[in-house]
Every structure is written in structure tokens, then in C-alpha cells.
Amino acid sequence: MSPAPLASAFRSSLSEAWAGGAGLLLPLGFFAGTATMVPFTLGSEAELLSRVGPGILWLALALSSMVTLERVFQADLQDGALDLWLQDTGSISLIAAIKTITHWLVSGFPLVLLSPLIGYMLGVPFEKMLPAMLGYAMGGLVFFLWGGVAAALSASVSRAGLLIALIALPLYVPALIFGVQMIETGLEGPNFLFLAACSLFALGVAPAAMGAALRLAAE
């Protein structure tokens, strides 16, 4: 496969992720807002916040991952770029994976860097935050990959945010469960292996699913 379509997909993903100037700020604001407002419903007991803090961060991460997914493939379908990629002899699945991972780098990875600060505000012990950051990076990639599948399935639908959420949220559940448990058991427990398996499974299956969905959307 020629590297030109891959480079084009990477460049377009960077510009789309920053569309409107909110590529980084919107997910960060949503993540910080969700993680800091939920504790108001639980009270100010430090022990309780410390115990539920990791789960709150994972929930905020899952919801924030969907903020920018609506525009991952829609612009390519509207401006004809998707048709050109489908005519290339290479794999549309690889292009879809590059676009999705680029969106994760721009909109998802900064959330991982912000998580220690939010965790400190919630009283999460520092020794739990180090493995948690690795978990957030892996889980965030899982969320964006499955969210990319939902975005590809709804690429031809305008205002598809709700549809993306309905499709993607059930696919988030395994990574969400193992991610929260991994913070408690650390890197030595089985939950880390299960979360890694979720990541590898998403990397192996989601690009093919995105490619098939985009072919249907282009027809």
C-alpha cells in the first residue's frame, strides 16, 4: 500500500481533531467537569471519595472519549476522501485505524496526563495513580477504537452523537470493569492482563469493523 493515503489520513485527522479549536480543550473540559462534579452527589467524606475516585475517573474517561468521535469519518464521507481511499489498492481498515488512533493522541492521551491531578483532588493515593495512568492509556485506546466503530457505522447520519453513544457504550463495559479493578489490584493482578487483552482485541477487531462499516457508508 502506498504511504500517501496513510499520510493524508493522518494529516486530515489532526485537522479534524482540532476543528473549531476544541480538539483538546473540549474533552479535557468534559473530563475535568465530570470527574469534579460527581463527588458533589456523594458528599465530602474523604475515605469515600478515595474509594470511588478511580471509578469516577474511568467513567469520566469513557464519556469524554465520545465528545469528538462524531467528526472522525463524517468529513471524509462528505468531501469524497473516503471514496478515494476505497479506490486505493490498500486497506481502508488501516486508514481507519490511523485516523482513530490520531484522534486518541489529540483528544484522549491528554486526559491520561490530567488524571493524576483529578485523582489528587479526589484523594486517590499516589501509589494507585501510577498504574492507573497506564490503565487509562490502554482503556482510552479501547474506548476510541470501539467508538471509531460506532462513528464509522453512523458516518452517514447527521447529528450522530446519541447514536454513537448507544453503539459504543456497551462495548466499553469490559474495559471499564477490568480498568477499575486493576487500580485496586495493581499491575500484578489478573485484571491488568484482562485489560491488556481488551486492548489487543480492540486493536485486532475494531479496524476491520470500521473498514466494513465505511464501505457500507460509501455505497
Q: Where are the domains of the chain?
A: 3-218
Inter-residue contact 114 to 32 (CB < 8 Å): yes
How many C-beta atoms lie closer than 10 Å to residue 158's C-beta?
A: 8
Nearest one of 26, 35, 76, 37 to 56, comparing CA atoms? 35
Q: What is the pLDDT of residue 16?
A: 64
Q: What is the pLDDT of residue 19?
A: 58
Q: What is the pLDDT of residue 90?
A: 61
Q: What is the pLDDT of residue 198?
A: 93
Residue at grid coordinates 463495559: 173
| pTM (2 d.p.) | 0.85
pLDDT (tens, 9 = 90+) of the chain, 219 residues, equals: 556 666 666 666 666 666 555 556 778 888 888 888 877 777 767 777 777 878 888 888 888 888 878 777 877 777 777 777 777 656 788 888 888 888 888 888 888 888 888 887 777 777 777 777 888 889 889 999 999 899 888 887 777 778 888 889 999 999 999 988 887 777 777 888 999 999 999 999 999 998 888 888 777
* CA–CA distance, 148 with 151 (Å, rounded to integer): 5
Q: What is the pLDDT of residue 26?
A: 78
Q: What is the pLDDT of residue 97?
A: 87
Nearest one of 60, 157, 70, 150 to 111, comparing CA atoms? 60
Q: What is the pLDDT of residue 56?
A: 84
| b/e 116-137 (16+ beta carbons within 10 angstroms → b) | bebbeebbbeeebbebbeebbb
Residue at grid coordinates 453503539: 167
